[in-house]
Amino acid sequence: MSNKHVKSIIENVPSAWVPSFDSLIVKGDNAEIWDKDNKRYLDYVGGYAVLNTGHLNPRVVTKVEEQLKNYSHSCFAYAPHENAIKVAEELNIRYPIEEKTKTFLVNSGAESIENATKIARYYTKRKNIIAFKGGFHGRTYLTMGLTGKENPYKVGFGPFPEFIHHADYPNAYRDITDEMAIDSLNNILNKEVDINDVAAFIVEIQLGEGGYIPSSTNFLEELKNIATKNGILLIFDEVQTGFGRTGEMFGSNTVGVSPDIATLAKGIAGGFPLAAVVGKSEIMDSIHDAGIGSTFGASPISCAAALGVLEVFDKDDLLSHTKKQAEIMNESLIRLMNESPFIGDVRGYGTMIGVEIVEDQNSKKPGKELALKIIDDCKNNGLLLVNCGLDGNVIRFMGPLTTPLDQVNEALDIFNKSVINI
């Protein structure tokens, strides 16, 4: 990026929002983007796991163009439109909750989690929410409170809403077993709160910002058993695990465990702002009139895009392609782990893969600086990646599920060379 562009960014946006990537993006096509200097990159950030169907997917573009010929905005609260009804209907059919469901549409993942929590408290008439350490649920005050990662998301922004507690999240690589995580939860239920005043558990099926750490079916089943036994609602935060990222349509399909409420966003609309709360009808219908709402939620344009995304899954056999990608990626990255002393762990469901960088495999000491060095070298060679994790030492892959297999291999080649050349 020219000094002019750098100066323009610095002068016009808050310093905390200045991007680390030093080029202005001017074009995108599926898994590829080009900057102002016409340099090409493979985009394995994907708008932070948003572009599951890639940049400018033709099916999404067609749906949006068709909608723009008719009207651009209608607030669903007073002038409902067909696109929103179709999206809600599709999600009610597709999301694997064991009972009849209803769907409420908003704009972002944080909004969906805000509303899911609000609905859970209203339905149960209870106030406590239990989330998990390492979890990320958003940057609004309630979702910051739910987030179990202090730095950088919560530092200096308190106080946060009350009646939020954090249990341990299982992490096999760091020796936190499922049993230990459940013991941590039970300790809260037995000692820190009145179990009869807990409204909900909220959990990511696989941690996103917390380090791309998958939870097991056994852990989630036990979580559900405890919730069901005690009249507590189970909320799955599927903002990042939804829409094919885990190899199935939703993370819930992957682990075989069904929640009471699910929150969906990111990949739902191919880059257009949309999110959803899907929940059991009885729960969703409990809210009084005007208790939930959104001016821009259920945007006709975003809903059109979402219908395009669903069409990609249905007509292009995207899940099969995703599973092929996942197989290639895991095989390559595990082979690299066996060759490099700096890779401690390779993990994740589907193409939602995290690579934990360590100073050495024996000590498992987090290697944040090494991770950032790898990311920078990859960027210089045309591959965009970002880090995550409590120690910032996990490199995560979030490329489009529509990425051609030759480009998957190209991305892996760049990454492998960067790791080997540390």
**CA–CA dist 393, 358 (Å, integer):** 7
The DSSP call for residue 192 is: I
Q: How many CB atoms lie within 10 A of CB 144?
A: 21
Q: So where are the chain's domains?
A: 3-56+317-420, 61-315
Residue listed under structure tokens 């919730």: 227
Task: Give residue 287's pLDDT.
Answer: 96
CA distance 112 to 261: 10
DSSP class of 14: -
pLDDT score at 17: 85
Backbone angles phi, psi at 55, to 5 degrees: -70, 125
Its pTM stands at 0.97
| Model pLDDT, residue 286 | 98
Among candidates 168, 106, 66, which has minimal Cα distance to 390?
Answer: 168
- Hey, what CATH class is 61-315 in? alpha beta
φ and ψ at 352, to 5 degrees?
-85, 75
CA atoms within 13 A on the CB side of 407: 20
Calculate the CA dihedral of residues 349, 351, 355, 356 and round it to 10 degrees. -30
Given this model, what pLDDT does residue 2 score? Answer: 53
Ranges under pLDDT 70 in the chain: 1-6
Q: How far apart are CA 415 and CA 283, in angstroms?
A: 46
pLDDT of residue 403: 98
Look up residue 309 and give its two tokens: 């995304």
Q: How far apart are CA 285 and CA 301, in angstroms?
A: 26
Sheet containing 343-347, strands listed edge to edge, beginning at the edge strand earlier in sequence: 343-347, 353-357, 394-397, 386-388
3-56+317-420 is classed CATH 3.40.50.300:
no
Q: How far is CA 114 from the centre of its chain?
A: 15
Cis peptide before 159 (omega within 30 of 0): yes
Rounded to whole angstroms, how far apart are CA atoms 18 and 387?
A: 16
Q: What pLDDT is recorded for position 3? A: 54
pLDDT computed for residue 149 by the predictor: 87
User: Tokens 């090494």 sit at which residue?
Assistant: 370
Reading the block at residue 283, the tokens are: 């729960």
Q: State pLDDT tens for residues 106-134.
A: 999 999 999 999 999 999 999 999 999 99
Instruction: For 307-341, write each residue's pLDDT tens digit.
Output: 999 999 999 999 999 999 999 999 999 999 999 99
Name beta bridge partners: 238. Answer: 264
Centroid of chain to Cα 126: 27
Would you state the structure tokens that stand for residue 250, as one six-digit string? 């939703």
Instruction: Give the residue from 318, 397, 309, 325 showing the smallest Cα distance to 56.
Output: 309
74 to 115, 274, 406: CA distances (angstroms):
21, 14, 42
Instruction: Give Cα separations from 109 to 2, 178, 241, 268, 358 (angstroms).
Output: 34, 27, 12, 10, 31
> Could you identify the residue written with the tokens 């909320």?
235
Tokens 């990222």, residue? 245
In this structure, what are the phi and psi dihedrals at residue 354, rounded to the nearest 5 degrees?
-115, 140
Query: Is 61-315 the same fold as 3-56+317-420?
Result: no
CA dist., res. 33 & res. 26, Å (int): 8
What does the angle CA 225 – CA 226 – CA 227 come to, to the nearest 5 degrees? 90
- Residue 51, φ and ψ in degrees, nearest 5: -90, 55
Q: Which two tokens stand for residue 350?
A: 């589907």
Packing angle, helices 368-380 and 405-420, rounded to 10: 130
Determine the Cα–Cα distance for residues 368 and 40; give it in Å rounded to an integer: 26
Measured in degrees and rounded to the nearest 5, phi and psi for residue 102 equal: -135, 155
Q: Is 404 helix (H, G, I), strand (E, B) or coil?
A: coil
What are the C-alpha distances in Å from 108 to residues 53, 148, 202?
A: 18, 19, 17
pLDDT, residue 18, reads: 81
User: What pLDDT sits at residue 23?
Assistant: 80
